[in-house]
Amino acid sequence: MIFQTQTAIVTGAGQGIGFAIARRLAREGASVLLNDLDETLARQAADAIQGEGGRCLAWPGDASDVSFIRQMIRRAVEEFGRLDIVVANAGITIFGDFFDYQPEAFEKVMNLNLRGSFFLTQTAARQMREQGQGGSILLMSSVVGHQAHPGLAAYAMTKAALEMLAKNLVLDLSPHGISINAVAPGATQTERTLDDPSYIPIWSKITPMGRPATVDDITNAALFLVAPQSRHITGQSLVVDGGWTSVSPPPV
Protein backbone atom coordinates (compact mmCIF):
# COMPACT_ATOMS: atom_id res chain seq x y z
CA MET A 1 0.00 0.00 0.00
CA ILE A 2 1.49 3.28 -1.21
CA PHE A 3 0.61 5.36 1.88
CA GLN A 4 1.37 2.82 4.61
CA THR A 5 3.10 4.60 7.55
CA GLN A 6 1.96 8.02 6.28
CA THR A 7 -0.36 10.41 8.10
CA ALA A 8 -2.66 12.74 6.21
CA ILE A 9 -5.02 15.59 7.02
CA VAL A 10 -7.89 16.36 4.64
CA THR A 11 -10.07 19.40 5.34
CA GLY A 12 -13.72 19.77 4.31
CA ALA A 13 -13.85 16.00 3.98
CA GLY A 14 -17.29 15.17 5.39
CA GLN A 15 -18.58 14.66 1.84
CA GLY A 16 -17.76 15.35 -1.80
CA ILE A 17 -14.23 15.44 -3.17
CA GLY A 18 -12.56 15.69 0.25
CA PHE A 19 -14.30 12.57 1.53
CA ALA A 20 -13.34 10.62 -1.58
CA ILE A 21 -9.67 11.65 -1.13
CA ALA A 22 -9.66 10.83 2.60
CA ARG A 23 -11.24 7.43 1.95
CA ARG A 24 -8.78 6.46 -0.77
CA LEU A 25 -5.80 7.59 1.32
CA ALA A 26 -7.05 5.38 4.16
CA ARG A 27 -7.64 2.46 1.78
CA GLU A 28 -4.04 2.86 0.62
CA GLY A 29 -2.78 2.61 4.20
CA ALA A 30 -2.62 6.23 5.44
CA SER A 31 -3.82 7.29 8.87
CA VAL A 32 -6.21 10.16 8.23
CA LEU A 33 -7.41 13.08 10.30
CA LEU A 34 -10.71 14.01 8.63
CA ASN A 35 -11.91 17.56 9.16
CA ASP A 36 -15.27 19.14 8.39
CA LEU A 37 -17.12 22.17 9.74
CA ASP A 38 -20.22 20.00 10.07
CA GLU A 39 -19.65 17.73 13.07
CA THR A 40 -22.25 15.15 12.07
CA LEU A 41 -20.82 14.83 8.56
CA ALA A 42 -17.26 14.58 9.91
CA ARG A 43 -18.17 11.79 12.32
CA GLN A 44 -20.26 9.88 9.75
CA ALA A 45 -17.46 10.11 7.19
CA ALA A 46 -14.82 8.93 9.68
CA ASP A 47 -17.10 6.08 10.80
CA ALA A 48 -17.55 5.00 7.17
CA ILE A 49 -13.77 4.91 6.66
CA GLN A 50 -13.22 3.04 9.93
CA GLY A 51 -15.99 0.61 8.89
CA GLU A 52 -13.83 -0.31 5.88
CA GLY A 53 -10.86 -0.97 8.15
CA GLY A 54 -9.18 2.44 7.71
CA ARG A 55 -7.48 4.48 10.44
CA CYS A 56 -9.38 7.74 10.64
CA LEU A 57 -10.00 10.39 13.27
CA ALA A 58 -12.88 12.87 12.90
CA TRP A 59 -11.83 16.41 13.80
CA PRO A 60 -14.73 18.81 13.32
CA GLY A 61 -14.11 22.55 13.15
CA ASP A 62 -13.60 25.61 11.01
CA ALA A 63 -10.69 25.25 8.58
CA SER A 64 -10.53 29.03 8.15
CA ASP A 65 -9.70 29.59 11.84
CA VAL A 66 -5.93 29.79 12.38
CA SER A 67 -5.98 28.71 16.03
CA PHE A 68 -8.18 25.74 15.11
CA ILE A 69 -5.74 24.83 12.30
CA ARG A 70 -2.80 24.80 14.72
CA GLN A 71 -4.74 22.64 17.17
CA MET A 72 -5.71 20.25 14.35
CA ILE A 73 -2.09 19.71 13.31
CA ARG A 74 -1.07 19.10 16.93
CA ARG A 75 -3.91 16.60 17.30
CA ALA A 76 -2.92 14.68 14.15
CA VAL A 77 0.67 14.38 15.41
CA GLU A 78 -0.46 13.35 18.93
CA GLU A 79 -2.77 10.70 17.52
CA PHE A 80 -0.66 9.31 14.67
CA GLY A 81 2.89 10.38 15.58
CA ARG A 82 3.74 12.41 12.46
CA LEU A 83 2.36 14.37 9.50
CA ASP A 84 3.24 13.61 5.86
CA ILE A 85 0.35 14.80 3.69
CA VAL A 86 -2.04 17.72 3.82
CA VAL A 87 -4.92 18.26 1.43
CA ALA A 88 -6.32 21.79 1.82
CA ASN A 89 -9.63 20.79 0.27
CA ALA A 90 -12.13 22.92 2.21
CA GLY A 91 -13.37 25.70 -0.03
CA ILE A 92 -16.56 27.66 -0.34
CA THR A 93 -18.33 28.76 -3.54
CA ILE A 94 -20.65 31.76 -3.27
CA PHE A 95 -22.17 32.72 -6.61
CA GLY A 96 -23.32 36.30 -7.18
CA ASP A 97 -23.67 39.02 -9.74
CA PHE A 98 -20.49 41.13 -9.72
CA PHE A 99 -22.40 44.43 -9.46
CA ASP A 100 -24.27 43.29 -6.35
CA TYR A 101 -21.61 41.13 -4.68
CA GLN A 102 -21.53 41.87 -0.94
CA PRO A 103 -18.47 42.26 1.34
CA GLU A 104 -19.82 39.55 3.68
CA ALA A 105 -19.82 36.97 0.87
CA PHE A 106 -16.40 38.16 -0.32
CA GLU A 107 -14.92 37.77 3.17
CA LYS A 108 -16.33 34.27 3.66
CA VAL A 109 -14.83 33.12 0.37
CA MET A 110 -11.43 34.74 1.08
CA ASN A 111 -11.31 33.48 4.67
CA LEU A 112 -11.76 29.83 3.91
CA ASN A 113 -10.27 29.49 0.43
CA LEU A 114 -7.21 31.68 0.98
CA ARG A 115 -6.60 32.40 4.66
CA GLY A 116 -7.46 28.83 5.67
CA SER A 117 -5.36 27.21 2.93
CA PHE A 118 -2.41 29.58 3.52
CA PHE A 119 -2.19 28.98 7.28
CA LEU A 120 -2.88 25.27 6.97
CA THR A 121 0.05 25.08 4.57
CA GLN A 122 2.26 27.16 6.87
CA THR A 123 1.45 25.16 10.00
CA ALA A 124 1.77 21.78 8.25
CA ALA A 125 5.05 22.78 6.60
CA ARG A 126 6.53 23.82 9.98
CA GLN A 127 5.66 20.37 11.34
CA MET A 128 7.12 18.62 8.26
CA ARG A 129 10.29 20.75 8.48
CA GLU A 130 10.70 19.74 12.12
CA GLN A 131 10.30 16.04 11.24
CA GLY A 132 13.01 16.41 8.57
CA GLN A 133 11.58 13.81 6.16
CA GLY A 134 9.73 15.97 3.64
CA GLY A 135 6.03 15.87 2.92
CA SER A 136 3.34 16.60 0.35
CA ILE A 137 0.86 19.47 0.33
CA LEU A 138 -2.05 19.70 -2.10
CA LEU A 139 -4.16 22.81 -2.62
CA MET A 140 -7.66 22.54 -4.11
CA SER A 141 -8.00 24.90 -7.05
CA SER A 142 -10.63 24.89 -9.82
CA VAL A 143 -10.90 25.35 -13.56
CA VAL A 144 -12.46 28.74 -12.82
CA GLY A 145 -9.00 29.83 -11.65
CA HIS A 146 -8.11 29.45 -15.35
CA GLN A 147 -11.21 30.48 -17.29
CA ALA A 148 -14.03 32.99 -16.73
CA HIS A 149 -17.28 31.61 -15.37
CA PRO A 150 -20.45 33.64 -14.70
CA GLY A 151 -21.05 34.76 -11.10
CA LEU A 152 -17.76 33.47 -9.70
CA ALA A 153 -15.36 36.44 -9.78
CA ALA A 154 -14.42 36.29 -6.08
CA TYR A 155 -14.18 32.49 -5.97
CA ALA A 156 -12.15 32.43 -9.20
CA MET A 157 -9.63 34.91 -7.74
CA THR A 158 -9.02 32.61 -4.79
CA LYS A 159 -8.41 29.58 -6.97
CA ALA A 160 -5.95 31.40 -9.24
CA ALA A 161 -4.21 32.69 -6.09
CA LEU A 162 -3.85 29.17 -4.67
CA GLU A 163 -2.08 28.06 -7.83
CA MET A 164 0.33 30.98 -7.45
CA LEU A 165 0.85 30.03 -3.81
CA ALA A 166 1.92 26.54 -4.90
CA LYS A 167 4.35 28.04 -7.41
CA ASN A 168 5.75 30.59 -4.99
CA LEU A 169 6.31 28.17 -2.13
CA VAL A 170 8.70 25.93 -4.07
CA LEU A 171 11.34 28.37 -2.83
CA ASP A 172 10.48 27.90 0.84
CA LEU A 173 9.48 24.25 0.87
CA SER A 174 11.82 22.46 -1.56
CA PRO A 175 14.88 22.79 0.71
CA HIS A 176 12.89 20.71 3.23
CA GLY A 177 11.82 18.06 0.70
CA ILE A 178 8.19 19.22 0.83
CA SER A 179 6.26 19.28 -2.44
CA ILE A 180 3.30 21.61 -2.99
CA ASN A 181 0.90 21.33 -5.91
CA ALA A 182 -2.66 22.16 -6.82
CA VAL A 183 -5.36 20.12 -8.49
CA ALA A 184 -7.94 22.07 -10.49
CA PRO A 185 -11.19 20.13 -10.90
CA GLY A 186 -13.70 20.98 -13.56
CA ALA A 187 -17.41 20.45 -12.93
CA THR A 188 -17.57 17.51 -10.53
CA GLN A 189 -20.56 15.50 -9.37
CA THR A 190 -20.89 15.86 -5.59
CA GLU A 191 -23.80 16.09 -3.17
CA ARG A 192 -23.63 19.89 -3.53
CA THR A 193 -23.46 20.20 -7.31
CA LEU A 194 -26.12 17.50 -7.82
CA ASP A 195 -28.63 19.73 -5.96
CA ASP A 196 -29.01 21.31 -9.39
CA PRO A 197 -30.93 18.84 -11.63
CA SER A 198 -29.58 20.49 -14.79
CA TYR A 199 -25.94 19.99 -13.68
CA ILE A 200 -25.24 16.65 -15.38
CA PRO A 201 -27.14 17.44 -18.64
CA ILE A 202 -25.49 20.85 -19.06
CA TRP A 203 -21.94 19.79 -18.23
CA SER A 204 -22.28 16.59 -20.27
CA LYS A 205 -23.13 18.70 -23.28
CA ILE A 206 -20.28 21.21 -22.95
CA THR A 207 -17.49 18.92 -21.71
CA PRO A 208 -15.48 17.34 -24.55
CA MET A 209 -15.34 14.01 -22.64
CA GLY A 210 -19.16 14.07 -22.56
CA ARG A 211 -19.64 14.08 -18.78
CA PRO A 212 -18.74 16.04 -15.65
CA ALA A 213 -15.98 14.57 -13.45
CA THR A 214 -16.68 12.08 -10.70
CA VAL A 215 -15.00 12.41 -7.31
CA ASP A 216 -12.85 9.42 -8.32
CA ASP A 217 -11.46 11.35 -11.31
CA ILE A 218 -10.27 14.09 -8.94
CA THR A 219 -9.06 11.62 -6.31
CA ASN A 220 -6.88 9.79 -8.84
CA ALA A 221 -5.06 13.05 -9.63
CA ALA A 222 -4.84 14.04 -5.95
CA LEU A 223 -3.31 10.73 -4.87
CA PHE A 224 -0.79 10.87 -7.70
CA LEU A 225 0.34 14.34 -6.58
CA VAL A 226 0.65 13.51 -2.86
CA ALA A 227 2.35 10.13 -3.32
CA PRO A 228 5.91 9.99 -1.91
CA GLN A 229 7.10 8.83 -5.37
CA SER A 230 5.82 12.11 -6.91
CA ARG A 231 7.77 14.50 -4.65
CA HIS A 232 9.93 15.80 -7.48
CA ILE A 233 6.73 17.28 -8.96
CA THR A 234 6.23 20.61 -7.20
CA GLY A 235 4.77 24.05 -7.90
CA GLN A 236 2.40 22.54 -10.48
CA SER A 237 -1.35 22.67 -11.10
CA LEU A 238 -3.09 19.70 -12.66
CA VAL A 239 -6.40 20.42 -14.41
CA VAL A 240 -8.91 17.52 -14.35
CA ASP A 241 -11.84 18.67 -16.44
CA GLY A 242 -12.55 16.31 -19.36
CA GLY A 243 -11.14 18.94 -21.71
CA TRP A 244 -13.43 21.84 -20.72
CA THR A 245 -10.72 24.50 -20.29
CA SER A 246 -9.47 23.82 -23.82
CA VAL A 247 -12.80 24.99 -25.26
CA SER A 248 -14.59 26.63 -22.29
CA PRO A 249 -18.18 27.11 -23.42
CA PRO A 250 -20.13 28.77 -20.59
CA PRO A 251 -22.64 26.55 -18.74
CA VAL A 252 -25.85 28.12 -20.08
Ligand X SMILES: NC(=O)c1ccc[n+]([C@@H]2O[C@H](COP(=O)([O-])OP(=O)(O)OC[C@H]3O[C@@H](n4cnc5c(N)ncnc54)[C@H](O)[C@@H]3O)[C@@H](O)[C@H]2O)c1
- Binding residues vs ligand X (CB under 6 A): 11-12, 14-18, 35-38, 41, 62-64, 89-93, 112, 140, 142, 185, 187-188, 190-193
State the sign of the Cα–Cα–Cα–Cα dihedral 114, 62, 119, 11.
negative
CB of 239 to ligand X, least distance (A): 10
Q: Which is nearer to ligand X, 17 or 76 (CB)?
A: 17
- The whole-angstrom distance between residue 19's C-alpha and the CA centroid of its chain comes to 10
Q: Which is nearer to ligand X, 3 or 19 (CB)?
A: 19
CB of 90 to ligand X, least distance (A): 4
Q: Which is nearer to ligand X, 81 or 249 (CB)?
A: 249
**Spatial CA neighbour of 137 closest among 106, 98, 160, 168:** 168
Q: Which is nearer to ligand X, 101 or 176 (CB)?
A: 101
For residues 213 and 188, is the Cβ–Cβ distance under 8 A?
yes
| Residues with active-site annotation | 142, 155, 159
- The whole-angstrom distance between residue 219's C-alpha and the CA centroid of its chain comes to 10
User: At how many degrees (to 10) do helices 66-80 and 117-131 cross?
Assistant: 30
For residues 138 and 182, is the Cβ–Cβ distance under 8 A?
yes
CB of 212 to ligand X, least distance (A): 7
| Cβ neighbourhood burial of 99 (10 Å; 0-12, 13-18, 19+) | exposed
Q: What is the DSSP string of 201-230?
A: HHHHHHSTTSSPBPHHHHHHHHHHHHSGGG
Q: Which is nearer to ligand X, 83 or 218 (CB)?
A: 218
What are the residue ranges of helices labelled H in 132-242?
A: 153-168, 170-173, 199-206, 215-226
**Residue 185 per-residue DSSP state:** E
CB of 151 to ligand X, least distance (A): 14
Q: Which is nearer to ligand X, 153 or 175 (CB)?
A: 153
CB of 158 to ligand X, least distance (A): 8
For residues 189 and 213, is the Cβ–Cβ distance under 8 A?
yes
CB of 190 to ligand X, least distance (A): 4
